[in-house]
A and B are shown apart, each in its own frame.
Chain A
Amino acid sequence: MKTNTLTPAKAVQIYLGASFGTCILIYTGVLLGMFVPCILFFAASAESVFKDPYVDLYLYVDLYIGLTVSAMVAALMQHTFEKTMPGGKFYRSLPEGFTAYRKMRLGMRYLCILVSCLYLGIICAANMVIPFMNHGTAKCVSVLVWLVHALGLADLIQMIPHGTARAVLSSLVMLFSGFGGVMMVYTGMWYVTVLLAVNALWLLPFSYRAMLNSYRSTRWDV
């Protein structure tokens, strides 16, 4: 009997209900949808938002970028498959068992990264056409690096047993990643972003494996 094996994309599709590509487009669309009113609001409330003196406004806009991406990432990462959660037992009964879960987490991570790239890329491109941010490209790249790095941290935080501590910490880390990415450009401390980029190279695979092992022994096999 032929047995279908899941790809990370398909594992995510089972859970989210729409194909991987569709999910990327939807999430990116939602983030852009949150961003556009923000821009319009600031445009309406300032004399001219496209003039240099209004650095503070730019800052708020930039922070907003970071915030929305972080919130989306945090929301995606909250999907766990407890036995008591609706859908938990269905997912656990799938043919690949824990392997399906592992592929789903990997797929979710890819989803976060791809959505962030697309979202930040669109904002970056828009900024090149109608500049509304200073150093727009630099900020977008920096936020992306901080975000990807924060994904690794988030996985490590998932291993903390205390539920509330876990939730609070992961929200803070995500929030800070958006903020921090932007601040690095303002303060000119470029090297921090570069350091994080390098650090992410080992942190991401390590945290992924550590988190899965911990999850398996404390929540899955229990």
Chain B
Amino acid sequence: MAPKAAAAKEKLIDDEEEVLQAVILADSFDKRFRPLTTHTPRCLLPICNAPLLDWTFESLALAGVQEIFVVCRSHAEKVKQAISESKWSRPGSGIKIVPIMTAKETFSAGDAMRDVYTRGLVTTDFVLVMGDLVSNIRIDEVVRVHKERRKTNKDAIMTMVVKESGENHRTRTTGDQSVFVLDAATSECLHYEHVSGYPATKTTRIPREVLEAHPEIEIRNDLIDCSIDVCSVEVPSLFQDNFDYEDLRRDFLHGVLTSDLLMKNIYCYVAQEGYAARVKDTKSYDSIRLVPLLATPLVSEHISSKDILSRWTFPLVPDDNHPGGHVYRHSRGNKYVAAEVSLARTAKIGNNTLIGAGTRILENAQVTGSVIGRNCVIGAGSVIDGAYIFDGTVVGAGCTVRRSIIGAGVMIKDKTNVERGCIVGNGVAVGPSGAVMPFERLSKRREISAPRSDEEEDSDIDDIEANQPGDSISVLGGQTNAVIWPQGPSEDDDEDAVVEYKVQRLRRIADTGSDLDYSDDDDSAPMTDDESDDSQDELSGDGSFDGSEDDSDDEAPPIIPGTSNMMEEAEFQSEVKQSLQRAFKEGHSVDNAAVELKTLRMASNVPLERVREAVIAAVVEAIPIVPVAATQRKEISAVVGRWGPLVNNIGGVDAVQTLEALQMHCVTSDRFPLFGQILAEFYQTDIVEFEDMRKWHGSAAAKGEGLSEGPTTENVKRSWVVAGQLMQQIEKLENESESEDDGDGESGSGEESDSEEEDSNAKTQPPSAVSGTNTVEESSAESDSEEADTGSEEEDSEEEMKTVSPANPAVVTKPEAVTKPEASTDHDKVKGKAVTKPESSDSEETSEAGEDDSTSEEDSEEDDSEAEEETKINPPAPPAKPESSANKDKPESTVSPTPAKAESSGGTKINPPAPPAKPESSAKPEITAESSGSEEETTSEEEDSDDESSEIQNKPPTASVAANPESSAVQGKVETNPETPKAKPEAQAESSENEDTSEEEDDSEEESSEEETTNNKPASAVGGSADGSKIGSTPPVQTKPESGVKAGPKVESSEEETSEEDSDSDSEESE
């Protein structure tokens, strides 16, 4: 028969499809709704007269979920019973609901997840929700997206559903908001931070890595976290592996995002339509009109209820698909009145009201914005405003109930006032003529004989009953059976409780929190906010945090760093030392060592700062002390060159801090005399930038201010002086080279061109700084030579010949020798110096050469464009170097251009790091310049104009940021970073190509032809790729302003100097 066949077919299809499973965590793991939840689990509190859990089931059923596991802890029996009695266990509901009772020891969502794992409940991707969810979001769509993503990316373990909302939305509970950092293209969640209401979170910090790896990000504070997660099977096992995860967001999400080891991705699904909210607290209860009845129940109940009554949850609305199966008639003004309600003729029913079946509203009663359960009686002349009254409650005549949650079976006798924000537990009797103060919580006095099972709660209640203030009871009216729950935290509560209490207040219904003094506690409890993430602070490491920064998660009072912490740190330091010693001895790669350190840090939960200090200490100590100055210098550069990159590889870069740490370590170490040299070496290897040095040097700490007198302070001051000398020299050289740089006159602090120059300078200076000898001579000598360079190309070429040698792998040290003569006094201290000089002159020369030729016509234009390029993409100049040097090298070492280059970069530690990253982008300027020189002017002009036009196109969006080099230095680095990594591979390939080709031709032809070829090649390549990269690089710039706008709280992104990349690449190559 036809229907049968059809049915059979359906079955088949069903079998093929995977059953969509859901896990409901039906325990809130908190007590916000007490005392309503002392006898009833929160998920069974009624909202709009149907248990919260039913709304959740309905929300899931709407999404096509077929199997639901309900994990319940408190009052598990009741939950189980409720489920078995509900319509869901009838056949045909299409949903299989399995209650899971977890052990009493389950205290957090994390524990519940571990339980889910051990029981092996889930077999496939599943939906994880809380037991207090009201939603009409198409979760099946989210699941589909999730599965789709899983097909291509196995590491996408979770998709969180978030909903857009305005900044001030009633469903958003103050103090329970979050900042999400999303990848704009993929919605991958890159960073998550909780925004606590008290103390108010005003800033958020975004780890630098995020900005680096993603060209375009959104920072959003306007998302409601719906607590709907589509998880893959790995998620419970992750909880199992990380036994300390408790909260789904703060621990799990944050843990996964910050973990360097897991390599898992979490995505967000920004629901455009649909509604979802949790009845987390009383404030949100109000919104959905689902009433969670505990500690601060009113608020969430209010919000939830409101949203339901105003039909945001459609089709989950009282008159349509009421989960309790009740029938309500919907009438104008969103009034829902069940059929069997008896309304007095003179009773007034206001908008947004729901009245359950069997309820009687007597004469002259007014009910507005409230939810009244079944079989209630509202006495004559009573006023019910914004209250949530559960089944079977009787309100006498002449009462007033405002914005409160009244449990089931409550007797509010005549002429009693219940003020806003109260929670009255089940079965309480109040009055007559009583008054319940705002935010009072009442529960029924227990019969003494009543046997209690829940010891823990028992003791609570005992306490409360024991501590009843006699006078306040009498206020409640003569016939009351109520006990009053303590308002605030009692005296013996610790500070945490105070804060928690204040946070809770923000969540309570009808509590605006306006009387909370946000500032007062800033010093007394700065760190108690358990959400402020220490590791984040450190990651961003903008030096703003003070020394008292310790682990806020542990309960240690913030003011005293705690002896236990000291011990831990000491332990950690020694472990780091050991691990590094091992690494030094066995010659690990920097990457491996970094991973080891990260693991170590994770394990001992130590701020990044400490790690940095430890690393620096270890590196410094690893430098052998040699009596001979020259060899000493060699040793330093060897050690720093090999291990320096590690400093910036441990998970975050903060050069200023690095310098501080270096100083602090050196002054206490027997290597203090080496401080100047080490510092110079740090600078030269791009571990720190000049700008950082300046910043550091200007800081009070660097000068040794505030330290008690003693040899250490003495040393600090001395080191400060040494550093000052060094910096002066750097600056001087910089200025000189800049002035040479024909009109390229921006002082661009952090930019590449400068840094190059600085580099070149740096080479010269360190010696002077270190030994205090007359570097002046040297530098002057150098500058002389440079000047000479500019003067004549021939000279340049000669110098280039010198440069060639550095490129030659074998000769690493020798180049210095070559140059030394020039750098008269302070011989071979830093090998790199000599090497670089030629190069730097080189680059200058090339750019000059180009400019000389072409600039005559378009000086200003080029300058402009360069300036811009510099800000946008770091390194115009550096690329020029490798090529040109390579070209020139050829005559001598035609053999392998690429290796040569690699060495020049790696072996000599100079700027080389930069070249690999930049070649592409930098290629552009170079090309324009060179081609104009060697080829016809027309082409060069065309190219120029191309570049310019492309720039012009890019400009508008970038303008604000990029136009002003200074501002970009402040703001901008962020932009460039994300791009460059991408550019790198290409760039390298290109540059090597160029070299190849140029090399071949080299053999036969003269320089000029070489130049041509090199120019041409890059030109073509650049036309496409460089421009492309540029265009690509702009979007990030654009987004930032946007995202900045979106994000509510201020966003502080720690800025990076571009050098960091350099150092990275450095480290790679140095192997």
A and B interact? no
